[in-house]
Amino acid sequence: MSKQISGDILIAEIFGPTIQGEGALIGLPTVFVRTGGCDYRCSWCDSLHAVSSVYRKDWVSMSSQVVWQKVRELSHGVPLMVSLSGGNPAIQPFEQLIKQGQLESYRFALETQGSLAKDWFCDLDTLVLSPKPPSSKMQSDWNVFDACLEAAGTKPEILLKIVVFDGDDYSYAREVANRYPQLPVYLQPGNHTPLSVDNDQAAIDVEGLNARFEWLVAKVTSDQWFEARVLPQLHVMFWGNKRGV
């Protein structure tokens, strides 16, 4: 892998168009720009190939212009949604890519855990903040999270997306929603098959995933938490943990 040059973007994969598999943009045709590197190490990470340093040799340092050429090639120059994901894509310098794409009527969504605030968040069309619940073994820094909201300002649509595995995660999701009542909340049942660097294409536990979805729906409705939206991961349901979909 070439050494990352200041201003370049560290890329794990670029693929699509395919549908967005989760969250508020679920089902929307999208090109994905997945970056390498993350400041978190969630216990149930489903994208280790974009997180673990074991895969660093597979990541490629690319200029914004080269990344943009690949996006245009995949979309045949037809404007659509571009999802910036990872890892934690907030680590990377996306300013120029976003500006270039929006000049050509493309839209940009970014999902991040809210652990790094960047000035260019205000240029996004959609910002998905996905703080990690207790099952991840990570800790949320709400001061930094608030800085992300401040950096985004009023331009992008800002959403909360929280993965839920168990009761503790559910309680965490309620607390976060109460802390940020102005933000729409999307809940996602956790993927029951944790990956590892030795098996990054593990088959999913379909029965367990469906049971978690049913439990989460029942929990939300019985608690009359009618503002929350519960959605599955469509790409996991149909393609498992396969990369590039």
Digit-coded pLDDT (tens) for 140-159? 999 999 999 999 999 999 99
Structural domain contains residue 245: no
Structural domain contains residue 45: yes
Structural domain contains residue 220: yes
Taking residue 175's Cβ as centre, other Cβ atoms within 10 Å add up to 11
Q: How far apart are CA 117 and CA 112, in angstroms?
A: 10
What pTM was computed for the model? 0.90
Structural domain contains residue 172: yes
Task: Report the amino acid identity of residue 109.
Answer: A
Identify the domain containing residue 103 by its residue range. Answer: 9-239
Tell me which residues of the chain have a pLDDT lower than 70.
Answer: 1-6, 192-203, 235-245
Convert the pLDDT of each residue in 15-43 to its tens digit: 999 998 788 898 999 999 999 999 999 99
Structural domain contains residue 3: no
Structural domain contains residue 85: yes
Q: How far is CA 89 from CA 99, 161, 212, in A?
A: 16, 16, 28
Q: How far apart are CA 218 and CA 214, in angstroms?
A: 6
Q: List, edge to edge, every strand of the sheet that includes 185-189.
A: 60-62, 9-19, 29-35, 81-85, 107-112, 126-129, 157-164, 185-189, 228-230
Say how many domains are in the chain: 1
Q: E strand or H helix at 241, and its extent?
A: none
Structural domain contains residue 155: yes
Domain of 156, CATH number, reads 3.20.20.70
Structural domain contains residue 206: yes
